[in-house]
Amino acid sequence: MKATLTVAFTLLKSAWRAVLLRTALAVVLFAPLHAADAPSKTEKTNILLILADDMGWGDLRCHGNDKLATPSLDRLRTQSVELEHFHVSPVCSPTRSSLLTGRHHARLHVINTSDGLEVMHGGETTLAEALKSAGYVSGCFGKWHNGSNHPSTARGQGFDEFFGFSGGFFPNYFDPQFEHNGVSTPTKGFITDVLADAAMNFIERNRAQPFFCYVPFNACHSPMQAPQDLFEKYRTLGFETKDAAVYAMIENLDRNVGRMLKKLDQLGLAGNTIVLFTTDNGPNTARYNGGMRGGKGSVFEGGLRVPFFIRWQDKLRAGSRVTEITQHVDVLPTLLELADVPLPKGPPLDGLSLVPLLQGEASSWPQRTLFDITGRGGKDGDLIREYPGTARTPTHRWVHDGKQAMLFDLRNDPGEKTNLAAKQLELAAAFQKDYLAWFHEVTSATGGKVARFPITLTEGTDLLIPNAARIGGARLFGKGWDYDWATFPTPTAAMAWRLEVPQAARYEISVLHTAKTPGGEIRVTVGDTTARSTVTTVYDPPEIPRRDLIPRWEVPDKVFKPLSIGILAIPAGSHDLQVTAAPDIEIQAVRLKRVK
C-alpha cells in the first residue's frame, strides 16, 4: 500500500402464499396480457434490479447466518457473479440516488433521509431515463425515497410506472394503501408480497419489449411488522422480538425473490434478463454481520459492505467471485454497457463499468479509493458536514467519526478492532488529505452548502409534506419523515416550501389536519396573498392500531382530515408558500390543486 493516495483514481471511474391484489382498480391496472396477445420478443436484454432495505451482508444463510432461511437468494448466488466487496452508503436515500445515477450522492446533495435532504434534483439522469432512450419501458415497485414531488419522483425521473410510496417510511405493512401513477390504490396482503405481485405483473405485461423492472423493497425496514407464522418461527429459534421480526421479513423477501425468478422462467425470459440483487446499507439492528464493525448509519465496513449478486444466464459465468472493491456508483455504467446502451450525456460519472471484472479481466481494473460520508446538515443545517466520513482502499479503511481519525488494516483486522492511526501517522495523514480533497471537490458546486431544491408545481395535485419544508418555529412530531406532522406552538411559528411555478395559475389549497378545539385558524401565504380558514369542527382521531410486534419509534399512524383553506392565485416564478396555524392544530400535508 503506497503512503500517498489520490482522489484521481476514484474519479476514474415463493412462496405460493402471496396474496394477490384484489381491488377492481388493481385488476384493471395490473391485468396481464395473455400469451396469445404477446408479439415476439426483441433481442435486447431485460433488467430486474432488486434492492432490499436495511438488510446487511450477514442476512443470508450463504454468508454464514445458519439460523436464517434464504434459499432463493442462496441459489441466486450460485447462479451469479458475486461482488464480495461491494459498498454502498450508510443510509437509504444516498445509496438509492447513487445507484440510479452513477454519481456520488454528495454531488447530488442527497445527504440525509429526511428534511428535504433526500431529494434528488430532477435534472439528474437516471438509469430509467438512459434506458428509455434505447426503447426500454421502466417500472418502479416499492420505496422510492428520492423525492415526493415532481420532477424528483420516480415518474419524473424516467419511470413509466410507479407503484409504492415516495418517502422513506411506510406506517402499515398489511393491506397497504399505495400510490399507483398518482392514484391512491388499496391493496390486500403483506407489503412485500403486494410489491412482488405488482412487479411480476409489470414483467408479464411488458415481456414482448425490453424492460427495466426496479423493485426497491422496504423489507426489513421498521416498523417491525411481519407475517405472524414467520415471526413465531424465529421467536421459537430464540431470537429476541426485534430480530425475529427482521428475520421474518427477510425470509418473506427471499420467498418473493424466488417467485420473481420463477416468473422469469415461466415466461421464458430468464436467459436474457440481467438480475441484480443488493441492499441499501448495513443491518438496522445489532445482529450477525460476518464479524464486521458497524451497521446502518455507520461508515465502518459493516455499515457499507452489502451483498451483490448479478446473474445473466446467457452471458455471465455462474458461481464466479470478484474480490476487487466496488461501489453503488458502478451499477449504472455496468448495466448500460451490458445492455449496449450509451452512457448519458452530462456531467462525468463517478462509477466505473464492472464489465471487466464480471468477465474475469481484473488485470485491467484500476487502483481506486472509495469515499463516503454520513453527511448531514452542519451549523444551522446549511453546510454539509465533513465528518463522519471514510476512505477505503483494497487493504485499508480510514474513518473519521467527527472526533478522531481511525485507520484499520483490513487484511489482518477485518473486524476493525485495532486503530493504527497513531502508529502509522504518515499513512493516516495521506488518507485524511485525500478524503478532504474528495469531499471539497464533490461539494464544490454549492460551496459545501446544502442544496434544497424547489418544488415544481405540475398541472395535477401537488402534496407538500412537512419534512420537505423549511421549519421556522414549527415542530415536527416524529423523525422528520414523510408521515410526520407539524404543530405550531407560537403565533409566529411557521413552515415554508420553496415553489417553482412554471405558469401563473389559481390553486385550490387544502390541508390534512387534526384539531383538538374549534376556533383555531390556518393561514397559507404566497407573497402578499393569504388564504385562511377557521376550524369549526373538532377532529382529534386516535392512533390507528397496527400490527407492530414491538412499540414503534417512528411516528404513530392516524388519519388526517382534509380541510379547504381557499383559492390562491400564484404567479409564475419562484415563491415561498408559508403555513401558520393555531397551537392545537396538527398539519400533515398541504395539497395544491390547479383550478382549470
Is the pLDDT at 20 greater than 90, yes or no?
no
* Contact between residue 261 and residue 270 where contact means Cβ atoms under 8 Å apart: yes
Q: What is the pLDDT of residues 543-575, one digit of tens each?
A: 988 899 999 888 888 999 999 999 999 999 999
Q: If DSSP states are collapsed to H, E and C, what string results for 474-511?
A: CEEECCCCCCCEEECCCCCCEEEEEEEECCCEEEEEEE
What confidence category does residue 39 fall into, taking pLDDT thresholds of 50, 70 and 90? Answer: very low
The span from the CA of 364 to the CA of 181, in Å, is 43
Average pLDDT over residues 195-220: 98
Q: Cβ–Cβ contacts within 10 Å for residue 22, how many?
A: 12
- CA 318 to chain centroid: 28
Which pTM does this prediction carry?
0.91
Q: Cβ–Cβ contacts within 10 Å for residue 573, how many?
A: 11
Is the pLDDT at 28 greater than 50, yes or no?
no
Q: What is the pLDDT of residues 212-235, one digit of tens each?
A: 999 999 999 999 999 999 999 999
- Kindly list the structural domains of the chain, giving each domain's residue range(s) and its CATH number in brackets, ordered by start: 46-364 (3.40.720.10), 370-446 (3.30.1120.10), 455-595 (2.60.120.260)
The span from the CA of 228 to the CA of 248, in Å, is 8
Arithmetic mean of pLDDT over the chain = 90
247 vs 11, which has greater pLDDT? 247
Instruction: Check residue 376 and give its pLDDT.
Output: 67
The span from the CA of 560 to the CA of 543, in Å, is 10
Average pLDDT over residues 100-121: 90
DSSP string, 514-534: EESSTT-EEEEEETTEEEEEE
Instruction: Check residue 76 and give its pLDDT.
Output: 98
In this structure, the strands spanning 389-392 and 177-180 are unpaired
365 vs 268, which has greater pLDDT? 268
Query: Closest Cα to residue 566, out of 530, 536, 539?
Result: 530
In this structure, the strands spanning 461-464 and 308-311 are unpaired
Please, what is the Cα angle at 551 between 548 and 555, to 5 degrees?
90
In this structure, the strands spanning 585-595 and 321-327 are unpaired
The span from the CA of 396 to the CA of 419, in Å, is 11
Is the pLDDT at 364 greater than 60, yes or no?
yes
Instruction: Check residue 150 and give its pLDDT.
Output: 86
Residue 498 CB-density burial (10 A; 0-12 exposed, 13-18 middle, 19+ buried): middle
517 vs 4, which has greater pLDDT? 517
What confidence category does residue 445 fall into, taking pLDDT thresholds of 50, 70 and 90? Answer: confident
Q: What is the pLDDT of residues 277-303, one digit of tens each?
A: 999 999 999 999 999 999 999 999 999
What confidence category does residue 10 fall into, taking pLDDT thresholds of 50, 70 and 90? Answer: very low
The span from the CA of 384 to the CA of 392, in Å, is 21
Is the pLDDT at 336 greater than 90, yes or no?
yes
The span from the CA of 7 to the CA of 14, in Å, is 45
Phi, psi (5° rounding) for residue 169?
-140, 140
In this structure, the strands spanning 585-595 and 529-534 are unpaired
CA dihedral 226, 231, 235, 236 (to 10 degrees): 180
* Contact between residue 332 and residue 355 where contact means Cβ atoms under 8 Å apart: no
* Contact between residue 388 and residue 400 where contact means Cβ atoms under 8 Å apart: yes
Distance set, CA 284 to CA 127, 219, 240, 374, 546 (Å): 27, 11, 14, 15, 21
Residue 364 CB-density burial (10 A; 0-12 exposed, 13-18 middle, 19+ buried): exposed
Residue type, 327: Q
Average pLDDT over residues 50-66: 98
Q: What is the pLDDT of residues 375-412, one digit of tens each?
A: 665 444 577 889 999 999 999 999 999 999 999 999 99
Number of H helices and E strands in the chain, helices first, is: 13, 27
Average pLDDT over residues 452-460: 83
Q: Integer distance in angstroms from the first to the last C-alpha of the chain? A: 66
* Contact between residue 216 and residue 95 where contact means Cβ atoms under 8 Å apart: no
